[in-house]
């Protein structure tokens, strides 16, 4: 049985629905970007209103409520966008080199760079709203790259290649994660710990940590 080709009217309707859906997604992204900009100017996300976000983009507060039920849902989705970008950056760093020790340093550096460049997202993700790590968005789980798993894979590869002493990859990855998080959190929370100092401390302390783990160089 042959399929009937869609009519012009059906094609127009389909195109209209697709444009409408793209418009919704674009507006949603605009809302999230406006919220981040507002949080940056206010120095946090504790004292904002959805009306303020609406004013940022020239819409009514009602429009915001069509996309986000309340402030809590909005900041959760800001964090979720952060988790996606964070995972993508770590994955790209992992794929950048086949040298197992260089790869490990690159993944750590990608972690730090994300925190330095996205302090609002990082605070939401790992410093003030750790509950977001376990929370699922309405409608099911949105695919988020397992960021810790990327670091663990890098450690496993280095151990397998003999570049690190044998051990528990999960524990070593946790040690390195804690190390980089400490540097990132110090920079974000302390006005007297500038970016250049954070980067320098990361490089130096990563080398010290690597020696303790048996690395020939890192």
Secondary structure tally for the chain: helices H, strands E: 9, 0
Cα separation of the two ends of the chain? 65
Domains of the chain: 7-68 (1.10.10), 71-218 (1.10.357.10)
Contact 84, 32 (CB under 8 A): no
91: confidence class by pLDDT, cuts 50, 70, 90: very high
d(CA 127, CA 7): 54
Q: Is residue 57 over pLDDT 80?
A: yes
pTM of the model: 0.81
For 80, 86, 108, 131, 132, the CA distances from 145, given in Å and listed in that order, are: 11, 8, 16, 17, 15
In this prediction, residue 216 carries a pLDDT of: 64
* Predicted pLDDT of residue 174: 94
Q: Does 152 score more than 90 pLDDT?
A: yes
User: Band of the pLDDT at 218, cuts 50, 70, 90?
Assistant: low
Mean pLDDT of the chain: 85
8 A C-beta contact, residue 166 and residue 173: no
């Amino acid at each position: 049985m042959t399929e009937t080709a869609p009519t012009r009217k059906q094609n127009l309707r389909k195109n209209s629905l697709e444009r409408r859906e793209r418009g919704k997604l674009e507006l949603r992204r605009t809302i999230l970007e406006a919220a981040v900009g507002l949080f940056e100017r206010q120095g946090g996300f504790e004292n904002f209103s959805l009306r303020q976000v609406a004013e940022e983009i020239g819409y009514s507060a009602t429009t915001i409520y069509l996309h986000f039920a309340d402030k809590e849902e909005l900041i959760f989705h800001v964090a979720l966008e952060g988790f996606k970008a964070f995972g993508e950056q770590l994955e790209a760093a992992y794929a950048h080199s086949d040298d197992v020790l260089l790869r490990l340093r690159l993944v750590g550096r990608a972690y730090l760079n994300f925190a330095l460049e996205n302090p609002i997202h990082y605070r939401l993700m790992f410093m003030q709203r750790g509950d977001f790590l376990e929370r699922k968005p309405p409608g099911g789980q949105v695919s988020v790259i397992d960021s810790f798993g990327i670091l663990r894979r890098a450690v496993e590869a280095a151990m397998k290649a003999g570049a690190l002493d044998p051990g528990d990859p999960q524990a070593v990855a946790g040690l390195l994660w804690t190390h980089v998080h400490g540097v990132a959190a110090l920079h974000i929370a302390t006005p007297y710990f500038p970016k250049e100092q954070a980067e320098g401390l990361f490089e130096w302390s990563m080398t010290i940590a690597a020696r303790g783990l048996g690395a020939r160089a890192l």
